[in-house]
Structure 1
Amino acid sequence: MIATDRNFFAYLDEMKIITILLPLSYHHGLSSSFSITSDFQEHPLKIIEKVQIENKMKYICEFSKDYAFEKQYVIIDEHGGKTDLQIGAVIRTEEFDKKFYYDGNDLGVTFQQGLTRFKLWAPTATQVKLKLRPSNSSFSEIVKMRREDRGIWSVAITRDIELYQYSFLILVNQEWREAVDPYAKAVTLNGELGVVVRLDNTQRSRPNLPEIENSVDAIIYETHIRDLTIHPKSGVKNKGLYLGAGEQNTKGMDGEPTGLAYVKDLGVTHIEFLPFHDFAGVDELHPNKEYNWGYNPLHFNAPEGSYSTNPANPYSRIIELKQLIDQVHSLGLRVIMDVVYNHVYVRETSSFEKVVPGYYFRHNEIGLPSNGTGVGNDIASERRMVRKYIVDSIQYWLEEYHIDGFRFDLMGILDVETMKEVRKVCDSLLKGTIIIGEGWNLNTPLPTEQKATIGNQAKMPHIAQFNDKFRDSIKGSSFNLFDKGYALGNEHYLGAANEVMTGSIGYTKQGPGTFNEPFQSINYVECHDNHTMWDKLLACLPDADDTLRIKYHRLATAIVLLSQGIPFLHSGQEFFRTKKGNGNSYRSSDEINQLDWERKIIYKDNVEYVKGLIQVRKEFACFRMRTSAEIRSNIHQMPLASPLLGYWFKGENELILLINPTTKKHIITLPDGDWTVLVDHEKAGITSNGILFVEEMSIEPVSINVLLKK
């Protein structure tokens, strides 16, 4: 029995609570009794509250029986009016989560001897059907699925259906919706349908890379698959594609390395790629007509097609992405994947919302979707099946694609428990997996103590966080283009710079810091977001010449590489990357976003300087101390005049780090001993320039200096 002409509305808001809304235009909104019926059985409801809200009368009613989600129910009032009972806020209750939590590892498509099985978690659906279509046909086959425990729907196909396209038809609240499998591992052009693929045809073994003992030994280089190679003079054949990003031995106009070979030569340990799970914003049929960073997630377990040589072939993107990762690994480098589990591109059309409407997203106190992400939806990671989805997805990328680490976009939207589960699964599968995230405290309806933010770093000790205090203290605020940080000569940031350079662990105040340990801090002054540092310098110092801008830029980058914590570089930072003043290039042209390989030639001296700084960091453990205790014991601050900073490192080697952000020379008194120069305003590297200082030295304006005791 289904009510089609609704006189009023009714919603299941808790397991035994039904909310009924009667318009005042219908019997003045008055009814003294309601009953619920299904399968020709009728039961009375107990009215426990009645209140008028605008032009409706709201009744809160209690249901004495157990609600069966696989059935359809009708509510009848005293006047004989009828309405179907719709699934309401019950899906956001703890009772619902407990009742329907499914811990199996077989959601999506799995293979057994002679059959292909499809499983979908859709507990609020009253019917689910599988829609199958051969890749070369317009004919679709509809197969009914069977409901099992825990809200699972299942069906097995006993013939070969490799490369068949598929989707699910789901009936919820008397409305049919068609959805792509949330667990789809392969998709058609622009992610319109899932595809059945046999991934065992694409498997390869994970290489044995030298172990990274501690995450402070990592040096991260952030880039975008298309940006890396799309420039006309990149020397790369497959420009803008997975295969291009993986090409080796490519050279620019100067005969020097470009692309992946250049990144290897620079000396970093990890390449972090902006999102490459399937995203919206680029038509895969015409990938060069549009550009996007990739923060519009469509399908979290399928690779993006616009980076593939043949996006219409579901295997191409899978195989070519795996080839890229293999090429990175072959050079001894590791891959960090930028993941965007905090939101979806469009909530209403997402697989999550179509399969279990209202479950996967947070809602505010008046029942509207919350918007801490700024894109119209926040993923409700605290719900059990959402958390399971994120953890399952991370496990899939680790095992299937041999990813080495993850960068969590807007991690502060997610909850602490989910991030701890992510850490746990990574530790169980790959020792040394690096996890980093943006722990910003965003306006989402999750209790403060549950948010995966910098403020809760102690609850997630082995997840590193982007240190915005480091960024803003050294470079100047990202939200005020004209604000200058310590490295740009602003001595008001002296105290903050001192704190962040020593690991943000409370070294300077001998109390709690932003972090408990240095390996929790991602130190950076530039990333894909906001203006590049060069563009900021052009705005901040409009009357300066490039010589001074270069000095400031070099100093800021050197501070990133020689501070305690994990250094993070934006690709092209080392040759003064510019986006022509564009502060948000997420869908700007290639001309704005590309890595300019001719600019690398122009500023070769600075590239060599940054390479030298990386060598110094790798060679001398004092620049990457493991613990806050080690920092407190082995770093001794030198008594220098403000705004100079000096650190004397005592350990296996004795070194001094000196910083002069002013435009004047300064004379420094040195500790006893013979000191040789590794880094100064012109040169950086692990071999001395031969100059010895005994008692004092002159520090050049706007410079960083590293001295080694002989």
Structure 2
Amino acid sequence: MNNLIKIFYTISLIIMISSCMQPITKLGLSYGAFLRPGGIEFKIYAPNSDKVKLVIFEKVDDESGNEYPMEKLENGDWTYFLKNAPLGTMYGYRLTGPWNDENVIVADPYSKATVTQNNWRHVAKSLVIDASFDWEGDTWTNIHPRDLIIYETHVRDMTVHKSSNATAKGSYLGFIEKDQNGGIEHLKSLGVNAVQFLPLWDFANFEIPYKQDADGMYNDWNPYERNHWGYMPTFFMAPESYYATDGTDEPLAWNGTDGRAISEMKSMVKSLHKEGMAVILDVVVNHISNYDWHPLKYIDKTVYFKLDKQGDFLSQCCGNLLASDHQPVRDYIIESLKYWMTDYHIDGFRFDQAHLLSAETARFIIDELKKINPNVIIYGEAWNDREAEFSKMGWGSFNAKFRDVLRGDLHKYSDKGFLFGNFRDSESLKNLQSLILGTPNIYQSSAHAVNFLEVHDDYCFNDYLRLSSSRNSKDDIIDDPMRHIELDDDLLRKNKLGAFILLTSQGIPIIHQGQDWAHSQIIAETDANDPNVGKMDRNPYNKDNETNWVNWLEKEQNKELADYYSGLIDLRRTHTEFRHATKKDFKFQG
């Protein structure tokens, strides 16, 4: 009888594992370039255009090319079949109509690969590539939300500093090199089981020239003329080619000329999956760049964007707002997300400024993605008190209450939180207990509460502690960064207490790169004309330099805290009580 039970258990286990390892079915896109027998079919949606021409380029720096008139269908699609066109074909579109500028050749918004120039216009050509890849049986890494321990990181920052010892520094492949200090090796040693990458979609990484007029715009805020973080997306189906092994930041140079970013990013995902780590992409689906020649702006702004009464683009903080409630926009977003899930085996998404999405669109997104993978990870920034609303739809969101009760006011540093031994006027011990329980007064499930002390926005946790304890002021010049991050007994205790509550509370903990050893973000000296060099930086979105690059020597300097984090992570992963407890499992004393 015992042998029969063992046989039954073994068969059941094999069936269960096999069902989890089913191959992922690829989904075709509605538009773009399609390899067909005898040539390539091109297809674009431009319902209000009078004429559309396919433009084929011979060389990467060609400003014009051979043009072929496309055929318009009744549904607003335009098509053309180019006979004998080979892989590696570079193309774009010239559109004529009431909302078009026929002097601008735009790339395909459905490009799977793009060749882009390093200038503020982000001039682009679409590249026809073979996107096939040997996944060797890889599929999604499905982890229960309550079991997630997420590390937020920038793919370039983790390996580009010389202290990383990586060979292909700052690249997808550099991230997964063995025997280095950064990248995947750090994630493995720390013990996290998920990595959230800052945006990896192709984005406008050059901004308008500093203190020069540019099409009626005047840049007096960004002396670096860069967007390092990537929150200005351009092509929703193409990976950022700057992170490929041939990527360059040389002005006017071209990135992506051979499309290698596709296979290199897929290799990174596959390697992370082999280590049992889920891969989460930080995505922007509510806005695009203000500055670049984004194809949707030139195809039909009335279809794709929110406009004011004068027909001008509406913006909210970061860029031109997409009309995500319009069906063509919603279809574009959903096709993009499904494409990353099926072609790149992405396990989940973090949505930037998700509160800008309507409830209808947010519900549509989660419903559609769960049809592809019921275990897909979905959370975002549901600011403006929309956390509870999003939770009712099954979304997770960043738990600002967790940050603020522990740290204090985000901007008023004298209004301190629990880590400083007190509660703010509007808070009490009950608020702290609620955080530990998974903030049930806001979230339907603790699996929706993404708890954090630090993310990429604002001052990092340790800099905040220094400001709130008056060790530093915002205008201090830090001459010795390594000495600056040294932790005295009080700062070490506060860092440890914050880490302890973060990693023993119900909910999903997220750790930002360098938080685990109390890093600092100090504005590095470069050729840029920045008067704030040496100060702590609360918004280093524009700095592809040592302000953001991870210095792995710091980890050794604050080894006690780094070891404490890895110990807590091991504790959390070992004991399910820290992840799957319910309110009745808790008893608070005092």
With structure 1 as the length reference, what TM-score do the two structures score? 0.67
2:157 partner SS: helix
1:261 aligns with 2:261: no
Unaligned runs of 5+ in 1: 1-102, 252-257, 443-452, 506-512, 641-710
Q: Which deviates more from structure 2 when the two are superposed, residues 302-311 or residues 391-400?
A: 302-311
- The equivalent residue for 2:495 is 553
Q: Which has the higher contact order (CA 8 A, sep 6+)?
A: 2
- Is residue 2:525 matched to residue 1:593? no
Deviation at 1:135, TM superposition (A): 3.7
**Match runs of 1:364-403 below 5 Å:** 364=308, 368-371=312-315, 373-403=316-346
**1:345 positional shift:** 0.8
* Structure 2 equivalent of residue 415 of structure 1: 358
Identify the residue that residue 315 of structure 1 maps to in structure 2.
259
Counterpart selection for 1:425 from 361, 365, 368: 368
Equivalent in 525, 549, 564 of residue 453 of structure 2: 525
| Number of the residue aligned with 2:403 | 471
Alpha carbons 1:475, 1:525 under 8 Å: kept:
yes
Question: Which amino acid in the other structure matches residue 561 of structure 2?
Answer: N
What is the total number of aligned residue pairs between the two structures? 503
Q: Tell me whether 1:148 sits opposite 2:81 in the alignment.
A: no
Residues 85-100 of structure 1 mapped to structure 2, 5 A cutoff: none
Partners of 1:205 and 1:457 lie apart in 2 by 37
1:296 paired to 2:232: yes
Contact 1:325-1:402 at 8 Å conserved across structures: yes
From 117, 133, 145, give the equivalent of 2:57: 133
Determine the structure 1 residue equivalent to 2:516. 574
Deviating more after overlay: 186-195 vs 222-231: 186-195
The one-letter code of the counterpart of 2:390 is: Q
CA-to-aligned-CA distance 1:537-583 (integer Å, 9 cap, x gap)? 11111359721011111111221111111111111111001003110
Residue aligned with 2:287, SS: coil
Mapped pair 1:333 → 2:277 = yes
Per-residue deviation, residues 178-216 of structure 1 (Å, max 9, x unmatched): 32111111111335333343334445355256642x201
1:12-161 matched pairs, under 5 angstroms:
105-135=29-59, 138=62, 140-161=65-86
Partner of 1:187: 114
Shift of 1:121: 0.8
Q: Deviations over 1:276-334 (max 9, x none)?
A: 11111249xxxx99561111212121111221122343322112111221221221212
Secondary structure class of the residue paired with 1:249: coil
Corresponding letter in the other structure for 2:585: N
Partner of residue 172 from structure 1, selected from 77, 87, 97:
97
The structure-2 alpha-carbon separation of the partners of 1:116 and 1:326, relative to structure 1 and needing over 3 Å to count, comes to: same
Q: Secondary structure at the match of 1:326?
A: helix
Residues 1:541 and 2:466 aligned together: no
> Shift in Å at residue 142 of structure 1?
0.6
Partner of 1:456: 389
Displacement of 1:367: 5.1
The one-letter code sitting in structure 1 at the alignment partner of 2:116 is L
> What is the distance in 2 between the residues matched to 1:458 and 1:234?
39
CA positional deviation for 1:370: 2.7
* Cα distance in 2, alignment partners of residues 271 and 136 from structure 1: 35
Shift of 1:593: 0.7
Please state how far the C-alpha of 1:349 moved relative to its aligned partner.
3.3
Larger radius of gyration between Structure 1 and Structure 2: 1
Q: 1:225 to 1:210 in 2, by over 3 A?
A: closer
Deviation of 1:375 after TM superposition, in Å, equals 2.5
**Secondary structure of 1:358 counterpart:** helix
**Ranges in structure 2 where 5+ consecutive residues have no aligned partner:** 1-26, 208-223, 247-254, 473-486, 523-535
CA drift at 1:366: 6.4
1:346 maps to 2:290: yes
2:205 is aligned, of 281, 297, 307, to 281
Q: Is the 8 A contact 1:195 1:314 kept in 2?
A: no
What amino acid sits opposite 2:432 in the alignment?
A
**Deviation of residue 137 (structure 1)?**
8.2
2:301 pairs with 1:357: yes
Partner SS state of residue 562, structure 2: helix
Deviations 1:408-456 (A, max 9, x none): 11111122233333323332333422111001239xxxxxxxxxx3242
Q: Give runs of aligned pairs for residues 680-691 of structure 1, distance below 5 A.
A: none
Distance 2:225 2:101 in 1: 37
Q: Secondary structure at the match of 2:49?
A: coil
CA RMSD of aligned residues (A): 2.4
Whether the aligned pair in 1 keeps the contact of 2:56 and 2:67 (CA below 8 Å) is yes
Question: Within 1, Cα distance between the matches of 2:542 and 2:93?
Answer: 32
**TM-score when scaled to structure 2?**
0.80
Q: Is the 8 A contact 2:142 2:376 kept in 1?
A: no
Match of 1:609 in 2: 564
Give, in angstroms, the shift of residue 376 of structure 1: 4.1
Moved more, 182-191 or 577-586: 182-191
Cα distance between partner residues in 2 of 1:240 and 1:481: 35
Once residues 605 and 597 of structure 1 are traced to their aligned partners in structure 2, the CA distance between those partners, rounded to angstroms, is 15
Q: CA–CA distance in 1 between the matches of 2:457 and 2:194?
A: 19
Matching of residue 244 in structure 1 with residue 174 in structure 2: yes
> Is contact 1:209–1:332 with CA below 8 Å preserved after alignment?
no
